[in-house]
Amino acid sequence: MKKLVHFIAAVTLGATASYSAANCDSGETVVKLSHVTGGTTHPKVVAANNFAERVNTELNGKMCVEVYPNSTLFGDSKELEALLLGDVQLLAPSLSKFGSYTEKFGVFDLPFIFRDIDAAIRFTQSNEGKGLLNEMENVGFVGLGYWMSGMKYFSANKPLIEPTDSAGLKFRVQTSDVAKAMIKAMGASPQPMAFAEVYGALQTGVVDGQENTWSNIYTQKFFEVQDSVTETNHQLLAYLFMTSKEFLDSLDADVRNQFIEIANDVTLQANLEVKEKEAYNRQNILNAGGVINVLTPEQRTKWVDSMKPAWGQFEKAIGKDLINAAAGS
Ligand code: LMR
């Protein structure tokens, strides 16, 4: 990486610097990191840029990471294929987007399986959670770590206080069978859609609502085109920071070891900071005039009762042991 450019990027943009193609030197292995989120305060944006900054400093002259946020290189529908084709080397897709490769990741999507982010982190550090990092080795995917994003909340073009308020509404979901079943269990209709299309779909009324973290609801401005957001806390959003086996195998052993060490450090740091980032973006929504509906314990119990029966459909595909390990975290 050219030192002058790196210096300017670091000084002017700080931890949220984005690294463009022009920054890499010709002798360096160029590593493209593509993701779909945006803004400057999003946990994934910060973690991706921290990773690039660490590699570009510590492996200077050997490797150079370019970060492409906001679906600018690849969006949801093409990124996993692009990784296998070698058109990109690093991704951090939501765990809900791997349905074509493994059903086991459905465990992360089961509504109310994790009490909070800490429980989800404990699961990812357990033997069962760590084992899932290698779940798609046969496809050629390598999991480097889990990056937490936050718990999810529903928003819609009308206030959602009781689950019956969502009856008949169309909700954008990720391409997850569990998410689809969960929305149907609420008496609503799921509409799978790429992340980059959600704002437009909410604005034009193609869908009535969506479910996401505070950081996505704030940085994508979803709250501006919705009546309000309801603090349902119903599901986890987390990412698989990943590469391909082909790329990893192509690296010299010393570079590979340092690359993996940096990935571990950045993952640890990202998960330490995630709750603070989510709280910050929740407050940003309120500061910008967004409305948040806080549920009473009785109201929240009704949401649990309406969505949790969806678990039954996935017990066989995911496996009872895995579900019990996650639920007990
Ligand atoms: C979504 O599609 O809602 C999320 O997966 C986007 C993201 O990567 O946070």
Residue nearest to atom 6 of ligand 1 (CA): 195
Query: Is 210 touching ligand 1 by the criterion CB < 6 Å?
Result: no
Query: Are residue 223 and residue 317 in the same domain, yes or no?
Result: yes
Q: How far is the CA of 291 from the centre of ligand 1 (A)?
A: 21
Tell me the best of 149, 178, 214, 217 to mutate to test the pocket of ligand 1, counting ligand atoms within 8 Å of each CB and taking the most. Answer: 149
Q: For residue 188, how far is the Cα from the chain centroid? A: 24
Q: For residue 176, give the amino acid letter.
A: S
Query: Are residue 176 and residue 197 in the same domain, yes or no?
Result: yes
Query: Are residue 55 and residue 199 in the same domain, yes or no?
Result: no
Tell me the best of 70, 180, 195 to mutate to test the pocket of ligand 1, counting ligand atoms within 8 Å of each CB and taking the most. Answer: 195
Query: Are residue 57 and residue 123 in the same domain, yes or no?
Result: yes
From the number of C-beta atoms within 10 Å of its C-beta (0-12, 13-18, 19+), residue 147 rates as: buried
- Helical packing angle, 3-13 and 43-58, nearest 10°: 150
Query: Are residue 169 and residue 133 in the same domain, yes or no?
Result: no
Please give the chain's pLDDT, 329 residues, in tens.
654 344 333 333 333 345 554 578 889 999 999 999 999 999 999 999 999 999 999 999 999 999 999 999 999 989 999 999 999 999 999 999 999 999 999 999 999 999 999 999 999 999 999 999 999 999 999 999 999 999 999 999 999 999 999 999 999 999 999 999 999 999 999 999 999 999 999 999 999 999 999 999 999 999 999 999 999 999 999 999 999 999 999 999 999 999 999 999 999 999 999 999 999 999 999 999 999 999 999 999 999 999 999 999 999 999 999 999 999 99
Predicted TM-score (pTM) of this structure: 0.93
Cβ count within 10 A of residue 201: 18
Spatial distance between the Cα atoms of 167 and 162, rounded to a whole number of angstroms: 10
Query: Are residue 124 and residue 183 in the same domain, yes or no?
Result: no
Query: Is 34 touching ligand 1 by the criterion CB < 6 Å?
Result: no
Query: Are residue 45 and residue 62 in the same domain, yes or no?
Result: yes
Query: Is 71 touching ligand 1 by the criterion CB < 6 Å?
Result: no
Looking at residue 222, which CATH number applies to its domain? 3.40.190.170
Q: What is the full DSSP assignment across 300-314?
A: HHHHHHHHGGGGGGG
Q: How far is the CA of 152 from the centre of ligand 1 (A)?
A: 11
